[in-house]
Amino acid sequence: MSMHSRAATPKAVQRAVILLYAALVLALFQIILGASDHHVHWPIFFAMFGPFFGFMIFLTVMISRGRNWARVTYLVLFAVFLIPSVISLIHSFLVIPFFSLVKLAQLVSGIVALVLLFSRKSSEWFTAKPTPNESA
C-alpha cells in the first residue's frame, strides 16, 4: 500500500510534479535544438546525459509518490546547478535570445515546483508518518 494512502496527494504536489516534468521536456527541447547547430556524437551524448535525465525522471516519480528524500535531493541538485544555470541564462541572452526563453522557462518551472513542494501542506504530506496498517 502507498505510504500516503490515507491522504490524497495535495494539489500543490500534483502541480509541482507537472512542472518538474515540464522542466525536463524543456531541457530536452533545448538540447535537441542546440545540437542541431553543432556536430553531436549522439552515443557519447546519451552515455553522458541519459543517466542524469533518467535519474531526474526517477526523482520526479518518487516525489509524486510522497518520498521526502526525493524532494530534498531535488532541492540540493537544483541549488548546486542554480549558479551555472543563471550564468548560462545571462550568456544565452547575449547569443541566442530564443534559447534564453527556453532556459528561463525551465528555471522558473523548477523554482515554482520547489516552492510548491515545500509549501506547508506539501511538507505535512511528505513528512506524514504511515499508520501501522499502511506499512504492511
User: What is the tens place of the pLDDT at every residue in 98-125?
Assistant: 888 988 999 999 999 999 999 999 999 9
pLDDT digits (tens, 9 = 90+) for 81-95: 999 889 988 888 888
The CA-atom distances, in angstroms, between 15 and each of 51, 76, 86, 114, 120 are 25, 20, 24, 10, 15
pLDDT of residue 83: 93
Residue 36 scores a pLDDT above 80:
no
Residue 1 forms part of a structural domain: no
34 against 90, higher pLDDT: 90
Tell whether 135 is covered by a domain: no
Predicted local distance difference test score (pLDDT) of residue 136:
43
The predicted structure's pLDDT at residue 106: 93
pTM for the model: 0.82
Question: Is 23 part of a structural domain of the chain?
Answer: yes
43 inside domain? yes
CA distances (Å), 29 to each of 8, 33, 89, 103, in order? 32, 6, 15, 10
**Which pLDDT score is estimated for 46?**
78
Average pLDDT over residues 26-55: 79
103 falls within a domain:
yes
Q: Is residue 6 part of a domain?
A: no
Residue at 2 is within a domain: no
Whether 45 is covered by a domain: the verdict is yes
**In the chain, how many domains are there?**
1
Domain with 35 in it: 11-126
71, 126 contact by CB (below 8 A): yes
